[in-house]
């Protein structure tokens, strides 16, 4: 199955806007949002965590380490709407909530998760489910980004303790990555079984 979050070349280097620990924690909340809301929707998580990469330092005189995240999944069964929420908005909403609660949310640090939305929209379009921009009427087979965002915000608020528990597990793990089963155990929820795919 597709990755729910993957490094995109256009993503803003967080090193320019946040201290290292906050970079990592912000991305851990992003991935934990994907993971918790995904597993609760019936999606089996293989692993979730952080990846480091090199980016020009703020001065431009050298290279520095910045962080992004990665959550991936085994074949799963979930509703198209739940996939849109977990895939397209859960990461951004959870990361924004962390930054806001920590007093770190600014125009520069605000997460840009267009890659999540584009990936979710492309995945669901392949099965005939369309997500339209805010203000447009919902299609017969699809939904709006407004509805997806509202659902993601409500679910992240409801599951915040579980999301935070997964963040703590990611931050404590070697290389800041945990298996889906460990993430599920930290959150106190099941990691759903792998879906059977017809051969």
Domain tally, the chain: 1
Residue 195 within any structural domain of the chain: no
pLDDT tens per residue, range 80-95: 999 999 999 999 999 9
- Asked whether residue 170 is assigned to any structural domain, the reply reads yes
Give me the CATH number covering residue 129: 1.20.58
Task: Find how far residue 41's CA is from the centre of its chain.
Answer: 14
Q: Alpha-carbon distance 45 to 35, whole Å?
A: 7
Whole-angstrom Cα distance, residue 101 to residue 104? 8
Q: Is residue 194 part of a domain?
A: no
| For residues 65-83, average pLDDT | 87
- Structure confidence at residue 196 (pLDDT): 65
In a domain, 1, yes or no: no
Q: Is the pLDDT of residue 14 over 70?
A: no
- What local confidence, expressed as pLDDT, does residue 73 receive? 92
Domain that includes residue 75, residue range: 14-187
Residue 65 maps to a domain: yes
Asked if residue 7 belongs to a domain, the reply is: no
- Is residue 60 predicted with pLDDT exceeding 70? yes
**pLDDT tens digit string along 150-167?**
999 999 999 999 999 999
Handedness of CA 8, 10, 14, 15 (dihedral sign): positive
pLDDT digits (tens, 9 = 90+) for 173-186: 989 999 999 999 99
Q: Is 55 contained in some domain?
A: yes
pTM of the model: 0.88
Query: Do the domain assignments include residue 5?
Result: no
């Amino acid at each position: 199955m597709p990755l729910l979050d993957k490094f995109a070349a256009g993503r803003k280097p967080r090193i320019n806007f946040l201290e290292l620990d906050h970079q990592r924690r912000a991305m851990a909340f992003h991935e934990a949002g994907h993971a918790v809301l995904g597993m609760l929707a019936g999606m089996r998580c293989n692993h979730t965590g952080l990846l480091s990469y090199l980016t020009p330092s703020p001065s431009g005189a050298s290279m520095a380490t910045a962080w992004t995240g990665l959550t991936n999944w085994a074949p799963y069964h979930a509703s198209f709407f739940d996939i849109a929420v977990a895939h397209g908005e859960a990461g951004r909403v959870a990361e924004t909530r962390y930054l806001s609660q920590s007093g770190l949310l600014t125009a520069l640090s605000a997460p840009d998760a267009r890659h999540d939305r584009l990936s979710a929209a492309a995945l669901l379009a392949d099965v005939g489910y369309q997500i339209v921009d805010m203000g447009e009427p919902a299609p017969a087979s699809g939904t709006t980004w407004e509805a997806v965002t509202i659902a993601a915000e409500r679910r992240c608020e409801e599951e915040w303790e579980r999301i935070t528990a997964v963040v703590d597990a990611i931050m404590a793990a070697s290389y800041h990555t945990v298996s889906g089963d460990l993430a599920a155990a930290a959150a106190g929820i099941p990691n759903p079984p792998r879906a059977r795919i017809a051969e």
